[in-house]
């Protein structure tokens, strides 16, 4: 537990007045305690430990806890366990416009003095952050650590009916095809450049063909590849510990064999091997972190975008925005465009609801756009006066 406590400590060691030992919202003596923690950081660590089996959820929840801890102690001058409803309302406002020194690109991505914000949170991200923190406080109340939750007073808002959401962070097929072609034009004059190219080539194809989340791609091992009835599958443990199987096509298996052969490994998976599917740049067996896989993708698309800076800056800008999750969206969108049944896409992405998967159905939007705009063209409509 001590290692995890360090990961959520922000800045310096908290003084007793801010540690939560004497927080005004601490549960009174006599209330049954379900956890032994006696400081806010230790209590938050227990809550986070409940999500260790789901790395993506753990990182997301830890980030929100770190943000609130830093704000409460550094801005409000209070312990987490002393926050009131007024503090929560002030924090919501803070999320809409965090100070520049909290969003400084020069700060590290990890460590005690890391950047906690990339900028103001969108409405959706702000609601998600408050929801996560409400869950934290509810947990600490049930655990007998806090007397009550200032988040529990949040009024229930009737949400207006909205049109179905459509995913926009994806690459259409022509741009995806051009990006892969440009990847093959990147320099390979030195052994290091060649290693970098082959790993980038394999990583992009693996993420696209499987629609894996970045944490799942980082954890994937040879032993997760399974041959069933003459077909290859990838076993995945996803969000919430839910297990799924993803079908692998012959082209991806050939790409896997090419990547391994380049590294001097057998072209086919070795039985029982726990070697990661994405290896270090020189083929080392050390598993990469999700952040490392993310940076491979960001760096690759940044170098691809360099090719279009002069002749197509709009395309270059879009490519520089691409992340690992864009590839997941791209994979699902292309599967939908190809006519893959939505329940198959749902299984491939391991969504609990088919309604979530429906956001990738772009064909209806394309048809509506074409029918609307082409009608004016057929009628010869002129808008200039």
How many Cβ atoms sit within 10 Å of the Cβ of residue 136? Answer: 22
- Of the candidates 89, 113, 96, 111, the residue with the CA atom closest to the CA atom of residue 6: 111
Of the residues 123, 153, 183, which one is the last residue of a structural domain?
Answer: 153
- Of the candidates 316, 317, 324, the residue with the CA atom closest to the CA atom of residue 290: 324
Same domain, 225 and 90: no
Q: What is the pLDDT of residue 338?
A: 79
Same domain, 115 and 180: no
**Do the Cβ atoms of 207 and 327 come closer than 8 Å?**
yes
Domain of 283 in residue numbering reads as: 173-365
**Do the Cβ atoms of 154 and 34 come closer than 8 Å?**
no
pLDDT in tens, 51-60: 888 887 888 8
Q: Judging by beta carbons within 10 Å of its beta carbon (0-12, 13-18, 19+), is residue 264 exposed, middle or buried?
A: exposed
Same domain, 129 and 202: no
pTM: 0.58
Supply angle C-alpha 344, 233, 52, rounded to 5.
90
**Do the Cβ atoms of 369 and 377 come closer than 8 Å?**
no
Q: What is the pLDDT of residue 278?
A: 93
Number of domains within the chain: 2
Same domain, 120 and 212: no
Supply angle C-alpha 151, 44, 325, rounded to 5.
85
* Residue for token pair 């312990």: 79
- State the maximum Cα–Cα separation within the chain, in Å, rounded to a whole number: 81
Q: What is the pLDDT of residue 310?
A: 86
Same domain, 28 and 147: yes
Q: In this structure, what CATH number is given to the domain that contains residue 282?
A: 1.10.443.10
For residue 372 the two structure tokens come to 């609307």
Same domain, 46 and 186: no
Same domain, 196 and 105: no
**Helix count (H) and strand count (E) of the chain?**
16, 3
Query: What are the residue ranges of helices labelled H in the chain?
Result: 2-8, 16-19, 40-49, 55-70, 85-96, 123-142, 173-183, 191-210, 214-219, 250-262, 290-306, 313-321, 324-337, 342-349, 354-357, 363-379
* Residue for token pair 């159905």: 361
Same domain, 319 and 228: yes
Same domain, 198 and 117: no
List of residues 6+ apart from 2 with CB closer than 8 A: none
383 domain-assigned: no
pLDDT in tens, 276-327: 999 988 777 778 889 999 999 999 999 999 998 888 898 899 999 998 888 9
Query: Could you report the average pLDDT of every consecutive run of 10 residues in the chain (385 residues)?
Result: 42 78 91 92 93 84 93 94 94 90 61 68 88 93 93 67 57 90 92 93 94 90 90 84 85 94 90 88 80 93 92 90 88 82 78 56 52 52 44
Backbone angles phi, psi at 243, to 5 degrees: -90, 140
């Amino acid at each position: 537990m001590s290692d995890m406590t360090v990961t959520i400590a922000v800045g310096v060691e908290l003084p007793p007045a801010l540690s939560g030992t004497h927080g005004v919202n601490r549960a009174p003596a006599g209330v049954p305690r379900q956890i032994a923690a006696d400081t806010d950081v230790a209590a938050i660590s227990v809550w986070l430990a409940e999500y260790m089996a789901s790395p993506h959820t753990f990182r997301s929840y830890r980030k929100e806890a770190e943000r609130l801890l830093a704000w409460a102690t550094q801005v409000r001058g209070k312990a987490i366990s002393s926050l009131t409803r007024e503090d929560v309302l002030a924090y919501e406002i803070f999320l809409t416009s965090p100070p520049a020194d909290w969003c400084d690109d020069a700060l590290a991505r990890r460590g005690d003095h890391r950047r906690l914000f990339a900028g103001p949170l969108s409405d959706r991200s702000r609601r998600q952050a408050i929801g996560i923190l409400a869950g934290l406080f509810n947990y600490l109340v049930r655990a007998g650590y806090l007397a009550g939750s200032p988040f529990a007073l949040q009024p229930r808002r009737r949400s207006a009916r909205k049109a179905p959401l459509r995913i926009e962070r994806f690459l259409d097929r022509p741009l995806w095809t051009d990006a892969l072609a440009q990847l093959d034009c990147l320099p390979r004059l030195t052994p290091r450049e060649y290693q970098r190219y082959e790993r980038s080539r394999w990583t992009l194809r693996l993420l696209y063909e499987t629609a894996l989340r970045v944490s799942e791609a980082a954890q994937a091992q040879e032993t997760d590849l399974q041959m069933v009835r003459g077909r290859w599958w990838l076993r995945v443990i996803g969000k919430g510990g839910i297990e799924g199987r993803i079908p692998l096509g012959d082209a991806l298996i050939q790409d896997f064999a090419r990547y391994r052969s380049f590294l001097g490994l057998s072209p086919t998976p070795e039985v029982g091997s726990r070697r990661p599917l994405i290896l270090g740049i020189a083929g080392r067996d050390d598993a990469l972190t999700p952040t490392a896989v993310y940076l491979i993708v960001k760096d690759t698309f940044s170098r691809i975008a360099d090719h279009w800076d002069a002749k197509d800056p709009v395309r270059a800008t879009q490519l520089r925005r691409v992340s690992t999750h864009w590839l997941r969206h791209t994979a699902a969108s292309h599967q939908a465009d190809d006519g893959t049944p939505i329940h198959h896409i749902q299984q491939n992405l391991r969504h609990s609801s088919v309604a979530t998967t429906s956001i990738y159905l772009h064909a209806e939007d394309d048809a509506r756009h074409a029918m609307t705009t082409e009608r004016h063209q057929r009628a010869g409509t002129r808008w200039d006066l």
